[in-house]
A and B are shown apart, each in its own frame.
Chain A
Amino acid sequence: MEDQEILTKFRDPASRNVAFNQLVRKYQRKVYWHVRKMVINHDDADDLTQDVFIKVWNHLENFRQDASLYTWIYRIATNECLSLLKSKRRKFLLPLTDLTAELTANLEADESLAGDEIELKLQKAILRLPDKQRLVFNLRYYDEMPYEQMAEVTGTSVGALKASYHHAAKKIEAMINAD
């Protein structure tokens, strides 16, 4: 089902639930992996994914279609991720390095990375980036999202995003080569 059809059906109370169910099925994997890359842990990613779709449900009626539905949902997911990471730091009074250590521990506990030393080093280096820079890196490197779309998701200019990605890539290479 196309986005426009989903939106039209959502506005009709009779077909609202069916339309929203289709929307969740269409975007759940992208949202889940977008947040999973940021929080690493499945349980946190599961909670966040559900919260994202609850917010989509609550605000979809007022969605003005200035951006595409996909970009709008990505933006909600991004904000939810950054809010969770921020609240975790505030709640546990953890400095940046301690939350990074927690995420790294989650990463090391993940059996999928066992045996792939260079991939584990890459993931650990990514986790040492500041949250917003990590987000930019993930969107560009893994999702291969165009900078213009990234600008809509993050609310940042294309130039700033290009510079941020370039610095992130250099930092990651330096960290891996220093190990």
Chain B
Amino acid sequence: MNTPFSLDEHRRQPRPTLAPPPDRYFEQLPMRVMQRVTAAPTTVPAWGWLAALSVPLRTALASVLVLGGFAASFLVSSPNGSVLPAPGAATLAQIPREELVEYLLATDQRVTLTDLAELPGTASNAPAGTYLQTSPDELQDLLDQQPTANEYL
């Protein structure tokens, strides 16, 4: 029967019997350490203070910067918070009405006076039936008076 192992009776080693370090290791180690500690100190960049912040704080700071960037770009591109009118519409509104009519009549735009006629009381999206006060027979007569498509050939 084997004797149970007891630490008190075991021959104590000064240290675990591990393989020794490479030859001349302890002769070279002081020189290697001195090379590291006396190496030129690295210059700290201007943003070096960021490294001192904790990770959550850095994340929060980055979020604030991104959101601030969005807010700034929005304010700069849209002063007073209003939407700018389209450039084409602004230019057209500055031209006098008479000049517009003369231009359209003088050029070959196939625009007739009927196209320019104003129909009082009509909204742009109102159905035709609300302002065309005519009967089906009258409409048919008006259509019959129009030239047929063959006359254009």
Binding site for B on A (CB under 8 A): 17, 20-21, 24-25, 28-29, 32-33, 36-37, 40, 42, 45-46, 49-50, 53-54, 57, 107, 110-113, 116, 118-119, 121-123, 126, 141-142, 169, 172-173, 176-177
The contact sample of 19 A-B pairs, CB cut-off 8 A, is A21-B34, A24-B29, A24-B34, A28-B26, A28-B29, A29-B26, A33-B15, A36-B18, A50-B32, A107-B18, A111-B19, A113-B17, A116-B17, A118-B10, A121-B5, A123-B16, A141-B7, A172-B7, A173-B7
- Are B5's CB and A142's CB within 8 A? no
Q: Which residue of B lies closest to A33 (CB)?
A: B15
- Please report the C-alpha to C-alpha distance between residue A122 and residue B16 in the assembled complex, in whole angstroms: 9
Residues of B within 8 A of A123 (CB): 16-17
Chain B nearest Cβ from A175, distance in angstroms: 9
Q: Please count how many residues in chain B sit with their CB below 8 Å of the partner chain's CB atoms.
A: 26
Q: Is the interface of A mostly helix, strand, loop or mixed?
A: helix
Count of A-B residue pairs with CB < 8 Å: 78
- Are A112's CB and B17's CB within 8 A? yes
Does B45 lie at the interface of the complex (its beta carbon under 8 Å from any beta carbon of A)? no
Known contacts A45-B21, A54-B37, A121-B5; 6 additional CB pairs below 8 A are: A29-B26, A37-B15, A37-B16, A112-B20, A141-B12, A173-B4
- Are A25's CB and B30's CB within 8 A? yes
- Please report the C-alpha to C-alpha distance between residue A176 and residue B34 in the assembled complex, in whole angstroms: 43
Tell me the chain B residues, 104-139 only, with Cβ under 8 Å from chain A: none
- Are B33's CB and A50's CB within 8 A? yes
- Given A37-B15, A54-B37, A142-B13, the answer on whether A176 and B5 have CB atoms closer than 8 Å is yes
Residues of A within 8 A of B80 (CB): none
Does B36 lie at the interface of the complex (its beta carbon under 8 Å from any beta carbon of A)? yes
- Please report the C-alpha to C-alpha distance between residue A36 and residue B19 in the assembled complex, in whole angstroms: 10
- Please report the C-alpha to C-alpha distance between residue A120 and residue B97 in the assembled complex, in whole angstroms: 106
Does B85 lie at the interface of the complex (its beta carbon under 8 Å from any beta carbon of A)? no
Residues of A within 8 A of B10 (CB): 118, 122
